[in-house]
Structure 1
């Protein structure tokens, strides 16, 4: 029984580490997409596109 608990604890530890990695990757991708979206915006561009 002790070996099975050891396996469960090791598996849980690996899953926590993987979840932290996935969350970090998601946040980096969201930030990268935001930076790319605002890469070529200038003040004059905003003035021209929002004039209706």
Structure 2
């Protein structure tokens, strides 16, 4: 069953803080994931350079 009287404008206003929170969480996860991937790839690059210096 659905509610008989729905006010779409009022629902948009009331859900706005929750939607901002969700989008902030998604963006934060992307930033943290990017930093983590960059850090791990930098470690691998340093290790491969160190391995090359052993052979030179």
The TM-score, its normalising length taken from structure 2, stands at 0.68
User: Between Structure 1 and Structure 2, whose CA radius of gyration is higher?
Assistant: 2
2:38 equivalent to 1:41: no
Structure 1's consecutive aligned runs of 4 or more residues displaced over 6 angstroms after TM superposition are none
TM-score where L is the length of structure 1: 0.72
Q: Are residues 1:23 and 2:2 paired?
A: no
Q: Secondary structure at the match of 2:53?
A: coil
Aligned positions, number: 43
How big is the alpha-carbon RMSD for the aligned residues of Structure 1 and Structure 2?
Answer: 1.5
